[in-house]
Amino acid sequence: MKRTLFSALLAAGLLTMGACNQQKTEVGEAGMNQAATQAADAANPTVDNPNVAAETAAPNPDAPVLTFAESEFDFGSIQQGEVVKHTFEFTNTGKTPLLIDNAQASCGCTVPQWPKEPVAPGAKGKIDVQFDSHGKAGVQNKTVTVTANTQPSTTVVTIKGTVLDGAAGPVRQ
């Protein structure tokens, strides 16, 4: 008895689902999607932000441009435990003030410091990067991702070199 009742309910459910799918096709998927899109657009209006990437949006010709004098620094070979410091100099070659939001290193051993105030068009700035080789050995390649109000919004600079293991030379891993 239970098995028959279960089978009947299952068959009714499948018929109902089939009817829903059939009804959707008859109404037309384009009409339903268009109505949903219009409702979503009305509920979430687009904010005009020239620094947000969109497929159809043209780049902002007035956006700041972060131009580094060099995007990579090779510190060569150092002894384990040494601290290397390097300054990456840049220029805002755009038409509006450059605002650096963040500079994130790829490792805790690398610490960047960047200007917190706006950099005017044509003005220069610098990002100081410090690499601590304590506990490091062999070839090192660390990046700093700079996030700013530029297009694209991120720019990467690299600091690299080799950390030697005392008098024995590079550590083999």
Q: What is the pLDDT of residues 48-74, one digit of tens each?
A: 555 555 555 677 888 999 999 999 999
Q: How far apart are CA 73 and CA 155, in angstroms?
A: 15
Residue 58 lies in a domain: no
Region 67-96: what's the mean pLDDT? 97
Residue 80 lies in a domain: yes
Task: Determine contact, residues 59/95, Cβ cutoff 8 Å.
Answer: no
Higher pLDDT, 12 or 117: 117
CA atoms within a 13 Å half-sphere pointing along the CA-CB vector of 165: 10
Whether the pTM exceeds 0.95: the reply is: no
For residue 70, the tally of other CB atoms under 10 A from its CB is 12
For the chain, what is the domain count?
A: 2
Residue 50 lies in a domain: no
Region 115-126: what's the mean pLDDT? 97
Same structural domain, 20 and 86: no
Same structural domain, 83 and 132: yes
Same structural domain, 118 and 153: yes
Residue 157 lies in a domain: yes
Residue 52 lies in a domain: no
Residue 160 lies in a domain: yes
Q: Which domain holds residue 22?
A: 2-43
Q: What's the pLDDT tens digit per position in 24-39?
A: 444 444 454 565 556 5
